Amino acid sequence: MKLKRTHTCGELAKKDIKKEVVLAGWLQSSRDHGGIIFIDLRDRYGLTQIVFDPKHDKKLHSEAEKLRREDVIAVKGKVRARGEGLENLKLKTGEIEVLVGELEALSKAETPPIEVEDRVDASEELRLKYRYLDLRRPKMQKHLLIRHMAAQAAREYLNKNSFLEIETPMLVRATPEGARDYIVPSRVNPGKFYALPQSPQLYKQILMASGCDRYYQMARCLRDEDLRADRQPEHTQIDMEMSFVTADDVLEMVEGLYKHLMKKVLNANIDYKFPRISHKESME
């Protein structure tokens, strides 16, 4: 890659006009208006309109005519204001565009089997088959960001409350749990097997006995179950344990964690105590 990215496709604004920048990303769409080619360049940060003008560089314009959807490119050019009345205020970058002076084609794409946009009409089976395309959609990118923000916010809260993040083993001895274990054969001990953990339950109890009074991890849990709406073969959970506490202490800690997540991820303030009911009441 000759051109090194200087900015993302979601950050350029009026303050950057006249700057020379390098952008890299995927070709979202291409339009030819009066011989001038306008391309929406996309990365996970947003969209930027880039322009190929034959009056500026005829050879470059010819190269741009060969570009197709989802081609990966890098471009170098100058930021300029969009024409009057041509702004797109729905975009953070909608007041500017980049007049391209240099183009580097990084990867050519075949015709994508699904549309890389939120209004996709592909079946779930097709989306999962081409998951790498599905994950390019803005909605899916947002989901990944929210998950990341939630994980970081949980860590922030638990760290402030004296919890230690400790990883527990993934290759374990089979123990009776609520489902079947996934079995992994041992290469060095023929005929013997490891199990993948359904939960870190035993290990966090060992940690409590060892004097580590507050533990957590983003735990991967694996269970050999039939696929149903409420059953998955693997999932991630915020796993935690506390020593020398009462049930009320645990409820207070989890309530505080939930409020912290809502504030950090959704900017929502919850200023009331959560109502509490007994297990018997919840089942009635």
The domain that holds 29 is classified in CATH as: 2.40.50.140
Q: Which residues in the chain land under pLDDT 70?
A: none
User: What pLDDT score does 177 carry?
Assistant: 73
**Cβ atoms 82, 12 nearer than 8 A:** no
Q: Is 261 inside any structural domain? A: no
* Predicted model pTM: 0.87
Q: How far apart are CA 266 and CA 284, in angstroms?
A: 32
- Burial (CB < 10 A; 0-12, 13-18, 19+), residue 160, is exposed
Q: Is 32 inside any structural domain? A: yes
Q: How many domains does the chain have?
A: 1
Q: Is 142 inside any structural domain? A: no
Beta bridge partners of 172: 195
Sequential DSSP letters for 154-203 = HHHHHHHTT-EE----SSB-----SSBPPEEE-SSSTT-EEE--S-SHHH
Q: How far apart are CA 249 and CA 252, in angstroms?
A: 5
Mean pLDDT for the chain? 95
pLDDT tens digits for 152-161? 999 999 999 9
Of the candidates 170, 186, 153, the residue with the CA atom closest to the CA atom of residue 261: 153
Q: Is 51 inside any structural domain? A: yes
Q: Is 271 inside any structural domain? A: no
Q: Is 39 inside any structural domain? A: yes
Residues 6+ apart with CB under 8 A from 71: 26, 27, 105, 107, 108, 109
Residue range of the domain that includes 74:
14-107
User: What pLDDT score does 62 carry?
Assistant: 96
Q: Is 68 inside any structural domain? A: yes
Q: Is 67 inside any structural domain? A: yes
Of the candidates 199, 194, 205, 242, the residue with the CA atom closest to the CA atom of residue 220: 199
**Cβ atoms 62, 100 nearer than 8 A:** no
